[in-house]
Structure 1
């Protein structure tokens, strides 16, 4: 069954598909700023006005914030057209979230400093939930920053349903970012999506094409370059690759019938779950593809559900310590 999307975030209207900036500032293969700006402009032209970046997307001197500053220095007229969400409060040296009031304030003030007035942060998200700090304490600190006008709203990432309710009781939560895709439908059954819909919180879906799985580009484990980070992700492992590709092949059949690409079907499915997908790409033509909606009727949704039931995905999303930080 299709669900309505909450398309107002921090008092602003967002399009049905957003854009994730991570790929443009990845440290192992960054995109030059002039080229990245063209891709971002293409996203905005396609109606993808919800932009999602991170303070740890790239090195400290060249992360999403620096790219955004460059973009809006050169395109100041676009600053009011987008809804900007920034993830932070995460220590990349120890790979742990930092939800204390001091860490929250330091992260937000650093983000504001780097952006230097070129664009406002509409939503600041804690990249993960710091389980050593009560969520009420973290949200109270963020609420003070909203009151001061440093950020427009508060977001959470990878929070479970109970945490979302506790946070929302302290201050309205503008958005919750979770992984949601045909490979990762868990938020539909663990209460996260239902809770967000009940409370009027926008659901932001990262990795809607499952880190490239649902583009159809990877057809064997050998297709993944030796230095590609996906080599370290359990779902791309040689021991499970063939099992997981069965789901891709089945979705390809649906895409052919719909006259669409696998990615378009995958993104359309996420939208029908009442979420705003934020696919990321370093190619302008892919942006256009990702923003082209494919109508999915109830029969299509039922078929995709049968595919997920028939071909369960093998392997954890991240594995190890990173897996333990999910759904907290």
Structure 2
């Protein structure tokens, strides 16, 4: 696995990372710790050095799991976590009037990062993202607090998740950002038209697409009727009803291109994000899918193949919003 620089602040990561969320939440159905630990360790064996977690994933469970898996490997890996949601005293995400509370107050973010360090059993975290943007707190105040933790050696680099271009610029002016994380794939190309991708490229900030496989949709194996009852994709606007029928045509077109190249649709989709200059972090709990995803790093797409993919999945083609209306309120802020 090739090592590349994420952004322009000196952080080097594997060309493909591993998103760990599904290993600790019901969001994609039930998970198994032993299976997840085996997958995490196999990822390290295959050269993956970039692991993505968050305090909200399993309410701390995912950070603890990752800490267990990476024990003894600290100097060989880059760990990224995310903070910025409010929590109740019993450790659940705080909800007010039916909405999750985003908390960017400096004192809260500092406490959250300290909690992440304890759960990860690490002295420092390589990269910490602000998970969502708190519009009630100036971003300058939050980033200043995180910057002090960089000076203290508790975090190495700072990033933002689901931030708008102006927020990115203001944060970067306080402390150079290393990465911005936002959903991006052949299925969701909004950052190409809302200014986010242009902004990070202008400022030398790395871009990390989450859900680079469209929540599994771009693998070509998605079957709505086989989802676990607790799988959040049952309520995903793009993966249900008439939208699903319409969007299936996108996957069919991508699959035909993949077949002509002799690769899997998921591999083609990941290779596309790499060709766009990004570091994708596909998530999986299973070793066979992990190995399939990692092989995408060796695929170099030709200009003709890239043009065919643009034709098959142009900006804005997906039917439906990428989240429910409630969750869309938290993105691009």
Structures share a fold, TM > 0.5?
yes
**Alpha-carbon deviation of 1:311?**
8.3
**Alpha-carbon deviation of 1:225?**
4.0
The question of whether the paired residues in 1 share the 8 Å contact of 2:5 and 2:11 is answered with no
Aligned to 2:57: 57
Task: Give the distance between the partners of 2:317 and 2:121, measured in 1 at CA.
Answer: 46
Q: Does 247-256 or 26-35 show the bigger shift?
A: 26-35
Task: Give the distance between the partners of 1:149 and 1:254, measured in 2 at CA.
Answer: 47
* Residues 255-266 of structure 1: pairs in structure 2 closer than 5 A: 255-266=258-269
Match of residue 215, structure 1, among 199, 219, 225: 219
Task: Give the distance between the partners of 1:222 and 1:34, measured in 2 at CA.
Answer: 27
The question of whether the paired residues in 2 share the 8 Å contact of 1:55 and 1:111 is answered with yes
**Alpha-carbon deviation of 1:239?**
2.5
Aligned to 1:307: 312
Task: Give the distance between the partners of 1:47 and 1:7, measured in 2 at CA.
Answer: 16
Aligned to 1:316: 321
The question of whether the paired residues in 1 share the 8 Å contact of 2:26 and 2:230 is answered with no
Task: Give the distance between the partners of 1:11 and 1:232, measured in 2 at CA.
Answer: 40
Q: Give the match's secondary structure for 2:241.
A: coil
Aligned to 2:172: 168
Task: Give the distance between the partners of 1:126 and 1:278, measured in 2 at CA.
Answer: 17
Runs ≥4 residues deviating over 6 A: none
Mark the runs of 5 or more structure 2 residues left unpaired by the alignment. Answer: 87-92
**Alpha-carbon deviation of 1:114?**
2.0
Q: CA RMSD in A?
A: 1.9
Aligned to 2:331: 326
Aligned to 1:67: 65
Task: Give the distance between the partners of 1:267 and 1:217, measured in 2 at CA.
Answer: 15
| Matched length | 317
Task: Give the distance between the partners of 2:9 and 2:47, measured in 1 at CA.
Answer: 18
* Residues 114-263 of structure 1: pairs in structure 2 closer than 5 A: 114-117=119-122, 120-218=124-222, 221-263=224-266
Is 1:284 aligned to residue 283 of structure 2? no
Cα displacement string for residues 275-308 of structure 1 (whole angstroms, at most 9, x for unaligned residues): 1000000111111110112221111111111112
Task: Give the distance between the partners of 1:45 and 1:137, measured in 2 at CA.
Answer: 40
Query: Kindly tell me: are residues 186 and 6 of structure 1, through their superposed partners in 2, closer, same or farther at Cα, counting changes over 3 Å?
Result: farther
Is 1:89 aligned to residue 87 of structure 2? no
Q: Give the match's secondary structure for 2:143.
A: helix
The question of whether the paired residues in 1 share the 8 Å contact of 2:190 and 2:315 is answered with no
Q: Give the match's secondary structure for 1:204.
A: strand
Query: Kindly tell me: are residues 93 and 307 of structure 1, through their superposed partners in 2, closer, same or farther at Cα, counting changes over 3 Å?
Result: same
The question of whether the paired residues in 2 share the 8 Å contact of 1:89 and 1:104 is answered with yes
Task: Give the distance between the partners of 2:315 and 2:180, measured in 1 at CA.
Answer: 29
The question of whether the paired residues in 1 share the 8 Å contact of 2:271 and 2:301 is answered with yes
Mark the runs of 5 or more structure 1 residues left unpaired by the alignment. Answer: none
Task: Give the distance between the partners of 1:89 and 1:156, measured in 2 at CA.
Answer: 10
Task: Give the distance between the partners of 2:69 and 2:226, measured in 1 at CA.
Answer: 34
TM-score (norm 2): 0.90
